[in-house]
Amino acid sequence: MFSFPLIMKRLTVISGLFLALLGSSALAAYPDKPIKVIVPFSPGGGTDLVARTLGVAMSDDLGQPIVIDNKPGGSTMVGTEALAKSPADGYTLVVATLAHAVNPSLKTKLPYSQDKDFAPVILVGVSPNVVVVSAESPYKTFQEFLLDAKANPGKLSYASQGGGTSAHLAGELFNSLAGTKLTHVPYKGAGPALTDVIGGQVDVMFATASAVGSLVDSGKLRALAVTTPARSTTPQLAKLPTVAESGVPGYSAGSWYGYYAPAGTPPSVINKLNASIKKAAQTQAFKTRVESEGLMIKTGSPEDFAKFVKAEELRWRAVIKSANIAPD
């Protein structure tokens, strides 16, 4: 004859096993509804293009719609905060960029915990910035520009799409490693910055590949070098030398794209997303669309992405400190 406590104990064990099976079944069924991907920029830019193009292939692979949600503002912090406050169930992701790694050094206070609120999913790829000058500039090669910059400290200027952007930090890293003193001229966006480079009001810009591709092709800008350690493998940029090989050893700067989920997202879901994005990044449709970005696809594990971002945080923190860029 069973005692009441024993019966209750066995019922508790059975119910626990039932819930565990139910939970594993739910995870096995993932995804069973649309997945939202937050893009912390306005529609139409490089990050938006990456998210939407990958989203098509991901949807085919996972069998669910991939919904793009543009949340610009706060140097990507608006969209990133939205992810941090989302359920950890794999149905909300964010596309992170260089801003994610530099914001802790550029902002006095973040609306989330950089180290505790996010689960890395995957690095998609790295894109070089391109050193460009006006088509009317006297500089025909990067070496000519470098020699003049060294010979005339404080007399040459470089444009950026705003403080703390990849173009700004790439210029400051150049000053640090080359021993030059280019004057930073920030603009509210890449468009007006490049307009003044074309017009000769500013001497140079370490611009994103996506922003300058058509302007170089049309002859309005002259490309001198790429900022990544190795030459680009994309046809549009393949002939350009690197800044490092052109007289600034150790120089490395660029843009990148990667996916995060909220912290606490089950590892099985993270791994499924990682595999889907990795597969999507190898489709011909994606490779063709990002060619103008100069994007070099470098997918790996979630752990690889975590190590990459931490290295970026430390590297750019040193540059920001050396350049005396004050947090805002």
> What's the angle, vertex CA 281, arms to CA 275 and CA 287, rounded to 5?
165
Percent of the chain with pLDDT over 90: 72
Res 257: pLDDT: 95
Topology of 129-226 in CATH? D-Maltodextrin-Binding Protein; domain 2 (3.40.190)
Tens digits of per-residue pLDDT, 26-83?
Answer: 455 899 999 999 999 888 878 898 999 999 999 999 999 999 999 998 889 999 999 9
Residue 259 has pLDDT above 50, yes or no: yes
Q: If you ran DSSP here, which 8-state letter would residue 298 be given?
A: -
pLDDT class of 3 with cuts at 50, 70, 90: low
Assigned CATH topology for domain 33-127+255-322: D-Maltodextrin-Binding Protein; domain 2 (3.40.190)
Can you give the pLDDT at residue 195?
A: 94
Same fold, 33-127+255-322 and 129-226: yes
Is pLDDT of 2 > 50? no
- Strand positions, DSSP E, 52-208: 66-70, 92-96, 118-127, 129-134, 157-160, 183-186, 204-208
For 279, counting Cβ atoms within 10 Å of its Cβ (0-12 exposed, 13-18 middle, 19+ buried), the class is middle
pLDDT by residue (tens digit) across 199-211? Answer: 999 999 999 887 8
Q: Report CA-CA distances (Å) from 318 to 166, 172, 176, 323, 327.
A: 15, 11, 10, 9, 13
* Annotated domain spans of the chain: 33-127+255-322, 129-226
pLDDT at 310: 96
pLDDT band at 10 (very low <50, low <70, confident <90, very high): low
The pLDDT assigned to 15 comes to 53
Scored b (16 or more CB within 10 A) or e, 100-118 reads bbbbebbbeebebebeebb
pLDDT reading at 156 higher than 70: yes
Average pLDDT estimate for 155-182: 93
DSSP string for 212-275: HHHHHHTTSEEEEEE-SSS---STTTTTSPBTTTTT-TT----EEEEEEEETT--HHHHHHHHH
pLDDT in tens, 78-107: 999 999 999 999 999 999 999 999 999 999
Q: Is residue 23 very low, low, confident or very high in pLDDT (cuts 50, 70, 90)?
A: very low
